[in-house]
Amino acid sequence: MDSNIDNFQWSQFPQNSILKNNYTGWLQFAQTPTYTIQQDLKAAGITLESYIPHKTYAFTASQEVNPLVLKQKGVITILPYDNRMKLSHDLKNETIGEWALRGDKVLIQIQYFKNITLDEISVLLKNDDLEILEIFTTGHVAMLAIDIDRIDEIASRNYVQYMDVITPPSIKEDTDGRGLHRSNSLDTQQVGGRNYTGAGIGVLVRDDGIVGPHIDFEGRIDNSQASGTGQTHGDGVAGILAGAGNLNPENRGMAAGSDVYISNYASSFLDLSTTSLINNGSVQITNSSYGNGCNAGYTITANTVDSQINNTPSLLHVFSAGNSNGSDCGYGAGGQWGNITGGHKQGKNVIATANVNDDGSLAGSSSNGPATDGRIKPDITAHGQGHISTDEDNGYLSFGGTSGAAPGIAGVAAQLYDAYQTIANGILPESALIKAIMLNTANDVGNTGPDFQYGWGIVNGLRAVKTIENRNFFSRTVSQGTSQNRIIPVPQNTSQVRIMLYWNDPAAATGASTALVNDLDLIVNDPAGTIYNPWVLNSNPNAVTLNAPATTGVDRLNNMEQVVIDNPIAGDYTVDITGFNIPMGIQKFYVVYEIIEDQLTITYPNGGESLTPNSTEFIQWDATNTSGNLTLEYSIDNGISWNSITTVNNTALLYEWTVPNDISGQCIVRISDSNGNTDSSDNPFSIAQRVTGLSITQVCPTYINVSWNALPGATSYDIYTLGQQFMEVNGSSSTLSYSIPITNISDAQWIAISANGGNGWTSLRTNAIEYDGGGLINCSLSNDLTVSSILNTAADFQTICNPGPIIISANIENLGSQDQSNFLISYQINNDAIVQETYNGTLNAGASILYNFNSPATVTNNGAGTLRVWVSLNNDEQLVNDEKVFDYFATATSESLDIAEPFDVNGVLPTGWILDNPDNTITWTEELNIIGSNGNPTTAAFVDGANYNSRGQSDSFTTNYYDLNFNGTATLTFDLAKAQWSTTYNDGLRVELSTDCGSTFNQIYFKDGLTLATVPYINSTWTPTTAADWRQESIDLSAYIGNDIVLRFVNLNDYSNSTFIDNIALNSTLSNEENTLANLVQMYPNPTSTIVSIQIDSSINDTIDIQIMNSLGQIIDEINQAVDANTTIIDVNNYQSGLYFVNIAAGNLQTTKKLIIK
């Protein structure tokens, strides 16, 4: 940019660079402003929104700011936004993928400025006649469909900060991780060992729908945010991340105690499921094993995920790197480089995971870096290929790819969160610390140092947790031009020291060519004065240099820097951290360090494991600066004698071992190098066969009997049952059977067994078998009656539609071995009197009967109810199956006219009215204190159409039943206040009526557009402010006289504007006789809260019958008044507030009055 500050005036700015009385554009400084200058600018009304390279910022500035202030603070150039700079690479070059095209429209996403509210952006977009697909307020992102020829026009709008096509379609990235990741060392499942299971840590699997059911997630899974079954990708991901191995202990995942939340994958990362779980603290770690595009650059989504982590420092996003190796995604070095899949993976503060096989070799499909701007990607590596993981319905499946690697990293991270939280008395760690520790302690594989295939290496949970336990980390802050230093003592005989600087970097400007914002430098000085610089990679688009080993130097791309020193001299090392270029605020950073003294460390098997003879296991170890070949041995007598396994190269970190058929509980393995360095298992492990033949032999009301085959050498057996979350020891047996106590025979049970014997060996627990709660097995009871089912349906209790007695009907079955007669069968409706009858016949053993009660049930009130049916038998040996329950909703009576529902008393919606909200978003709600049709505040039913962007959705409410069985006419009226947005957006309203209890509905009213509107087009969210904004609608219902009716009001959404309904009323014009009584009755005061007087004209000579009903049609009070009393006073002190109907009858005359109790 050329300097223009000397002659600059704000008058040079175009109108489309002025937003809400603020200028927007770019500022370039001669030097990166210090933190003090940044604060001075903020105080002067200048906000530095985001940073791009070359000391340039996106800004907003008050119109009161004098350009001289900017010059004094070091600004050399001020420019308005260039519309082309707002466009992504694809939009600039018109390389728009088919996924983003819909006819002649392109589907785009825009970032709008942070000072614009939801209402304001909705108005701005609608006024531009744009089709709004979705608006995300948390990320200030809107999804739109626009005409292709309007791209430049919309980019010129002052509210648009950046514009891109929508994210490419989401692709699932499919193709003995615990040991390879050293996760087993964090979760030993042994007394006295580390038991970091991720307990108390929330992990979110963002995938393809509901996970399970599976007992490996027992008591720990929440599927409430997910929808859809039949897809298994999410099941596989969840099992690797957090499966407990309850069904099969060999399939235990990483964080087996974590709280597992499930949601559907949304590429924006701004979906309500994700943001709400993050914001309310339920979730600390998310996993997304999906790809969206390839090497997409620093996109809107990358900006989103980085911002989310900065806003919630304990949050960690973990992603798969992709399975697209071989795809040329435009980096410039062919198909082997630069093919990370998706913009979200380009984030700086997130983790993108590469994929290796169980032997640590890189999977050929695993996507390679670098990121678009040359940064190190992937970040780290985990085992993803060839997993056995959870499937739906308590099954397992083969699962793999980077989809399987990412949950391995997320699971180890959850274990490390658990470890930190345990040590820090419940305080959660910042994700920056956990990520830094995982990167710094990873096993360095591939080229020395970081590379663009493995990132920083294969995760090593054991070395990571030791860093936490030893507290080998510290945190400080730096600002522009400042520095910090710290002394780290290194002891004698240290094999290697690793020091890493890491910081969560501010989100870069979307589309920035270089994503790094704040640039910190790490330098380490040893006691002799030698200076060590961090690793750097050559990211030039050349296949040869991209595959070259790292060198050391100055890093200007990454937000992590690592110094590694082999065989360091002992003494104090000075770690210097400098804020080289800190354009955005004060930067917090972490330094983590690892001092490796042991050159060889066995990590698996390391004590407490139960291995099976002739199975294949990977012996695994850590090695640093070893020499010569490595020798592997095993002992079955705790090291008294040794047996040779093999010799391997000193670069190896694992060996595939066929477990010998040597049964023992005193097994250990040992590794040695040619210099005498050696290590062995910390504690003995077992080699033993698994128990076979476990089966359920008998199920009775209070116990389950199981048996199994004898295992040679076993002295006892432990029987496991599924507890609240995990398989737990229920008891032990020295025989080949066991009786498991139960309290309810209908509850499912999962059962497994392990054997103990010899010199302390324990076999691996068997796979769990299920008792499904189906009832007795091989258990003969003499006396056992059951109600197997209630045969009544919900329709039986719709007595307004099905008049007549309700015959209660049930199936009764004799499960015992004895015939039964003269036993009691009973039912009860709610808390009404129990109906009890005696069955006088004989019900033979094994037979069943359909029993219809002789005493029918009656339902007189509307509302929810419960029907219980049970049998009673002396000496019944299984009481749990004696009763069945059926819940229903009764509609017994219809309400007499006249009816008025002003919503002020009963609210929206009144009791008994039914809301239908198919998409579970915006719908009919209660709006308080708006100006009503009489000019006074009122309560109304409301649909927020201005913010309801799901066009084509219908939301309805259905009323109670109303009685039109009289001589005369009837009219439905309601007050309506409605605005439409424009000719493009037009909501509709339909009113329907049913005379057959809701089986079918007839349309009695429909309007839309300006015909429906009560005011002209309004281009902002609207609320009525005067009585003139309302109109009363009237519908003649005379054609339906002689019926009970139900009404349904249907809002037809087109993303237009607000709809209000109030004062729904049904009024009758009575026949001459009925009108006569109405004119002769007065009721006062009304409304009232104490008493009400009903005065009858003296010309009435008949006895007066008065019924008072609530809004559900339930009779509250009945009064029979003698003819000589002209005034009846009724005490209503004990009535609840609400609307009541007073039905007054005298001879053949009848009328109904409305009574409101305050």
Q: Give the residue numbers marked as catalytic.
A: 207, 233, 403
* CB-CB contact of 811 with 803 (8 Å): no
Three-point CA angle 723, 729, 735, nearest 5°:
135
Distance between CA atoms of residues 1009 and 984, nearest Å: 10
For the record, the structure tokens of 1063 come out as 């004062």
Say how many C-beta atoms besides its own lie within 10 A of residue 1133's C-beta.
Answer: 9
Distance CA 378, CA 381 (A): 8
* The length of the chain, given as a count of residues: 1158
CA 179 and chain centroid, separation: 29
Q: DSSP for 183-206, please give it.
A: HHHHB--STTS-B---TT-EEEEE
Residue identified by tokens 């499909």 is 365
43 contacts: CB under 8 Å, gap ≥ 6 = none
Instruction: State CA 1129 to chain mean position distance.
Output: 58
Using an 8 Å Cβ cutoff, are 1053 and 950 in contact?
yes
Residue 778 CA to residue 696 CA, distance in Å, equals 10
Closest C-alpha to 1132, from 1110, 1111, 1112, 1153: 1110
User: Could you give the CA distance from residue 270 to residue 138 in angstroms, rounded to a whole number?
Assistant: 7
Cα 416 to Cα 421: distance, rounded to the nearest angstrom: 8
∠ CA 868-870-875, nearest 5°, is 155
Q: Give strand pairing partners of 160.
A: 112
Radius of gyration of the chain (CA): 38
Q: Compute CA distances 480 → 60, 349, 519, 588, 618, whole Å.
A: 22, 21, 9, 12, 49
- Residue 1032 C-alpha from the chain's centroid: 44
Structure token pair of residue 297: 């650059």
Cα dihedral 933/935/941/943 (nearest 10) = 100
Residue 161: strand, helix, or coil: strand
Q: 657: closest CA among 669, 641, 642?
A: 669
CA distance 757 to 58: 72
Query: Which residue type, as a one-letter code, is found at position 1142?
Result: V
HSE, CB side, 13 Å, CA atoms: give it for residue 1031. 11
The set of residues, in sequence order, having a beta carbon less than 8 Å from that of 1007 and lying 6+ positions away, is 988, 989
> In 3D, which of 418, 291, 416 has the Cα closest to residue 352?
291
Q: Residue 276 carries which side chain, given as an amino acid letter?
A: S
Q: How far apart are CA 646 and CA 654, in angstroms?
A: 12
Q: Which residues, 6 or more positions from 919, have their beta carbon under 8 angstroms from its beta carbon?
A: 950, 953
* Chain centroid, CA 1140 distance in Å: 44
Phi, psi torsion values for 865, nearest 5 degrees? -150, 170
* CA distance linking residue 758 with residue 711, whole number of Å: 11
Sign, CA dihedral 382-386-387-391, equals positive
| Spatial contact of 246 and 218, defined as CB atoms under 8 Å apart | yes
**Angle of the 402-423 helix axis to the 461-469 helix axis, nearest 10:** 20
C-beta separation of 675 from 627 below 8 A:
yes
Q: At 527, list the tokens.
A: 């006691």
